[in-house]
Amino acid sequence: YYNFGKHEIDDGYNLGENPLPYRFHSTDQMMGLSAHQSYALFTNNNTTAGIDLQRFGGEAWNEFSDERENKSLADVHLYEVAGYVHTQQALLSNKLWLNAGVRLDYHEKNGTEWIPQLGVSFSPSSSNVLKAMVSKGFRNATIREMYMFPPQNPDLKPERLMNYEVSYSQNFLQNKLSLGLNIFYINGDNIIQTSFIDGKPINLNSGKVENKGVEVSSKYQISKSINLSGNYSYLDMKHAIMGAPKHKLYIGGNFSKERWSFSTGLQIVSDLYTAIQPEKQSMSFNLWNARINYKATSLLTIFAKGENLLGENYEMNAGHPMPKTTVFGGLRVQL
C-alpha cells in the first residue's frame, strides 16, 4: 500500500488582529507491505505467521507571503518492521479454545518491543461463553509528538500497558435476548503527557495508567422490526486520563419496516476529564442522536441524520467546544 497527502492550512486570526504572514504547508507519505500465511499444524488448530513493513513521514514548513525564507518545522521519515506468530487450538469438541501469540516490533527510533498475548475461551453450550485474556499493549510516539510544534520532544519513549480481562455472555429466549459482563484491569506507564517546565509546555513520558472497571451490555430483538440495545461502563482511574469518563450509559433502538428504517440512541456521559494539566477539569453531558433512511430504489437511499439533538454544550478536550445540534441529509447510491 501507498498513500500520500499535500496540505496548505490557514490558521486564521483573532478579531482585531492582523492576518498571519505565513501559511502552514506539509507533505506526508506512508508505504508498507503486509504478508501472512496460515497453517493447520494439528487437528482443530490454526497458526498464522506474518510480517509488517512500514515507512512513514513527511515534511512541514511555514511559507511566508513576503520574501522571507520558509521556516522548516519538521522533515522526518521513519521505518518500522514487525514479525508475529499467533496460534489457536480447539479442545473438548470445540468447547474450549486456547490462543497465544507474540509480536516482535522494531522501530527505527525506539528499537525492539515484544508484545505477547494469551487467551482462553470456554463455551459449555451454544448460548453462553466465558473468556479470559492477558495482553500487552504499546504505542510509539507520533512524529507530531516528537518533532512538530511545542511541546514536541524527540526523546519520547513508547507507551506500555498490560491488560487483564474476563468476560461472560449469555443468550436467552431463543437468542432474542443477550446479556454480557466484562471485568478488566489495566496497568501502564510511560504515558505521554504535556507537562510544563519553566512555564513552557513539553511532552514527557510522565503519565501512568491504572484502571479497573466493569462493562455491562444487553441486546433484545423484540420483533423482526424492532430491536433495543444498551450498555453501561464504570471506570475507576487511579490516575486521571483525558477523554475518559467515569460513567457512560447508552440506550438505543432500531426500527425497520419495508423501505423505512429509523435508529436513535441516547448517550449519558458523567465525569469525563477534559484536561489534567495544569489542573484537572471534568464535565458531564447527554448526547441524543437519530437517523432515518428511506430506500427509494434498489440503488438509491435517502437519509437524514441529527446529532446532539438536545443542544448540549460540551467538550472532549478543554478549550475545544463540540458542535451543538447538527442536522443534515443526503443521498446514497450503491451500484
Q: pLDDT (tens digit, 9 = 90+) per residue, 215-227?
A: 999 999 999 999 9
Evaluate whether 250 touches 266 at the Cβ level (below 8 Å). yes
Taking CA atoms, 150 is separated from 129, 145, 198, 220, 276, in Å, by 49, 9, 14, 49, 18
CA–CA dist 115, 136 (Å, integer): 6
Q: In the numeric block, which cell numbers belong to residue 299? A: 440503488
Q: Is 143 helix (H, G, I), strand (E, B) or coil?
A: helix
Residue 301 identity: T
CA–CA dist 325, 308 (Å, integer): 5
Evaluate whether 119 touches 99 at the Cβ level (below 8 Å). yes
Residue 26 identity: S
| Percent above pLDDT 90 for the chain | 86
- Torsion, Cα 49 161 180 267, to 10 degrees, reads -120
* CA angle 97–98–99, rounded 5-degree value: 125
- Torsion, Cα 231 282 201 24, to 10 degrees, reads 70
Q: What is the pLDDT of residues 188-197, one digit of tens each?
A: 999 998 888 8
pLDDT in tens, the chain (335 residues): 999 999 999 888 888 888 888 999 999 999 999 999 999 999 999 999 999 999 999 999 999 988 888 999 999 999 999 999 999 999 999 999 999 999 999 999 999 999 999 999 999 999 999 999 999 999 999 999 999 888 999 999 999 999 999 999 999 999 999 999 999 999 999 999 888 888 888 999 988 999 999 999 999 999 999 999 999 999 999 998 888 999 999 999 999 999 999 999 999 999 999 988 778 999 999 999 999 999 999 999 999 999 999 999 999 988 889 999 999 999 999 98
